[in-house]
Amino acid sequence: MSERNYTTVNPCIMCQPIGSVMAFKGIEDSMVLLHGSQGCSTYMRLHLAHHFREPVDIASSSLSEKGAVYGGSENLKKALKNIISRYDPKVIGVSTTCLAETIGDDISRIISEFRQEENIGDERIIIPVPTPSYEESHNSGYIKAVEAIVKTFTLEDSNKEIFNNKLNVVLSENISPEDTREMKHIFTGIVGHNSFILLPDISETFDAPMTGDLHKIPLGGTTHSDIADMKNSAATIGLGITNDNRAVNYLEHTFEIPAQNLPLPIGLEYTDMVLNALSEVSGMEIPDEFQKERGRLIDAMVDAHKYVYGTKVAIYGDPNNVLGMLSLALENGMHPTLVVASSKSPRFAEHAIERVDQVKPDCDVTILEDVDFDTFNDAVRKVKPQMLIGNSNGKYIAKDMNIPLIRFGFPIHDRVGAQRILTLGYKGAMRMLDSITNTILEVQDTEIAAKWSEPESYVPLGESNFHSAEA
């Protein structure tokens, strides 16, 4: 379609509250309550259940017309009360929606009134996060919720307590449960078990083992004591560099914890960067195990290089994930023709260009952000990539162009295993590369078969001369 200025067609982003939900789902014993109309929570539950294939409970204050006119305080208090009585969560995240924000409800005030009225003890933590749906995107919702969580848990006494010599690792963008497990594997391997605090941690909460038991609140998540202990840490690493990681900044400014922000470790070089930083920060040597993993990845890259070289690829999704995948594609000699971030972020384009210049400066690449799928699809038609890498919503254009789509990111609602997609670390890079290579080989197989199945295409040497001589 041609130029559009007023209509968004097939959105690449979701609204802020769902980002907040994802962050809270990585906290131990927590429940999220959306202050708004009943539909918001139900839609987000559907969206998350489709992707993670787990039960997802998100409460709602079920605002009705009366609440919208006279204020939603009564509904919000009742919802809090009912959730405590039914789920008994230690942490309740209260996120706003467009409705609650527009009617002007002050959720912090309502929550403190509720605490007083119901005599809620200090052991129950209620965290307000304003996330109006008409501002920014799910990515900013995630960052805001993580910041609010850290602030609330460390606010009690803003002085440092006992230095714990731990490393904080704070995500600024959602990663899969499998990726979260891989991160923990890497951190444990390098800085040691119990020597880091990863926030948020959805490795169990969004990918629970089947035991025959249903837990009201899924087990797992970053523990409360760990979050409270973040202010006593030796250093902080923020994962994700395209957006400001507000929790990291807060920890740095309030508690003077030295901080650095690093890219998501996708592909060889970004993983190297993160591992080197870990080693440097902790003073620990990188165990041989990771040298081996790295060696295997390079082995895989050599095995694959002939097949993937020059393959034109379009990569789309959330900014930090896309940046990492761009890096992986470049390192393997692929040609990223189109790189698209779902939401606007201060440093996505800058880093993407930098990465292209570092690895393949002659590469002609289109970089877009904050566009809808209609614009993306137009760009795909224009640059004609041979492959797409991104979430399920690229399936329409992939089908249209008859090119393969390798799924990663969020949402993936039309395939199983989204929660187990591994892209981070050397292992993740290997997994992605194998998947990319095998997809290319599959296409080649089909093309070769089609070519030689046509009767005219095979003419034995000499025979054509013979025939023509006869004619």
Partner 1 sequence: MPDITSVVDTLDERKPYIELKQAKSSGELACDNTSIAGSMSQRACVYSGARVALNPVTDAVHLVHGPIGCASYTWDIRGSLSSDKETFRTSFSTDMKELDVVFGGEKKLSKSIDEIVELYKPPVIFVYSTCIVGIIGDDLEAICKEANERVGIPIIPVQSEGFKGTKSDGYKAACNALMQIIGTKEPEITSEYRINIFGDYNVAGDVWLVKPLFEKMGIQVITSMTGDATVDTISKSHGAQLNLVQCSGSMTYLAKWMQKEYGIPYTKVSYFGIEDLAIALRTTAEFFGSEEMMRITEDIIEKETERIMPEIQAIRKRVQGKTAAIYMGGAAKALTLIKGFRELGMEVVIIGTQTGKREDYKQISYQVKDGTVIVDDANPLELADLLVNQKADLMVAGVKERFLAYKLGVSFCDFNHDRVIEFEGYDGFLNFAREIDISINSPVWKYVGSKLGDSNSGSLEIKNTNMSAEQNTAESRKVVGERSNMRDIDIITLQGSVA
Q: Is 368 in the site for partner 1 (CB under 8 A)?
A: no
DSSP string, 96-148: E-HHHHHTT--HHHHHHHHHHHTT--TTSEEEEE---TTSS-HHHHHHHHHHH
Nearer to partner 1, 9 or 441 (CB): 9
Residues 252 and 259: beta-carbon distance below 8 Å: yes
Answer for which of 21, 80, 148, 268 binds partner 1 (CB under 8 A) is: 80
- Which positions ≥6 away from 358 have C-beta within 8 Å? none
Q: How far is the CB of 177 from partner 1 (least distance, A)?
A: 14
d(CA 207, CA 176): 9
In the numeric block, which tokens belong to residue 111?
């929550």
Q: How far is the CB of 32 from partner 1 (least distance, A)?
A: 11
Nearer to partner 1, 75 or 327 (CB): 75
Q: How far is the CB of 343 from partner 1 (least distance, A)?
A: 10
Answer for which of 156, 165, 216, 442 binds partner 1 (CB under 8 A) is: 216
C-alpha distances (whole Å) from 99 to each of 16, 22, 32, 85, 142 are: 13, 20, 17, 26, 19
Answer for which of 75, 154, 174, 345 binds partner 1 (CB under 8 A) is: 75
Q: Is 107 in the site for partner 1 (CB under 8 A)?
A: no
Tell me which stretch binds partner 1 (CB under 8 A): 2-10, 271-279, 324-332, 360-368. Answer: 2-10
d(CA 83, CA 330): 49
Q: Is 381 in the site for partner 1 (CB under 8 A)?
A: no
Tell me which stretch binds partner 1 (CB under 8 A): 179-187, 208-216, 233-241, 449-457. Answer: 208-216
Q: How far is the CB of 310 from partner 1 (least distance, A)?
A: 33
Residue position matching structure tokens 């002085």:
159
In the numeric block, which tokens belong to residue 187?
């951190």
- Count of residues for the chain? 471
The single-letter code of the amino acid at 457 is: S
- What are residue 55's phi and psi, to 5 degrees? -65, 135
Residues near partner 1 (CB under 8 A), total: 74
Nearer to partner 1, 81 or 360 (CB): 81
Tell me which stretch binds partner 1 (CB under 8 A): 98-106, 256-264, 397-405, 439-447. Answer: 98-106
Q: Is 212 in the site for partner 1 (CB under 8 A)?
A: yes
Lay out the site mask for partner 1 across 132-151 (x = CB under 8 A, - = otherwise).
xxxx-x--------------
d(CA 34, CA 20): 10
E strand or H helix at 405, and its extent?
strand 405-407
Q: How far is the CB of 442 from partner 1 (least distance, A)?
A: 24
Answer for which of 20, 95, 97, 243 binds partner 1 (CB under 8 A) is: 97
Q: How far is the CB of 188 from partner 1 (least distance, A)?
A: 23
Beta bridge partners of 125: 91
In the numeric block, which tokens belong to residue 150?
């850290």
Residues 355 and 328: beta-carbon distance below 8 Å: no
Q: Is 418 in the site for partner 1 (CB under 8 A)?
A: no
Q: Which of residues 299-328 bind partner 1 (CB under 8 A)?
A: none
d(CA 147, CA 244): 11
Nearer to partner 1, 212 or 462 (CB): 212
Q: Which of residues 35-64 bind partner 1 (CB under 8 A)?
A: 36-40, 42-47, 49-50, 53-64
Q: Is 99 in the site for partner 1 (CB under 8 A)?
A: yes
Nearer to partner 1, 79 or 237 (CB): 79
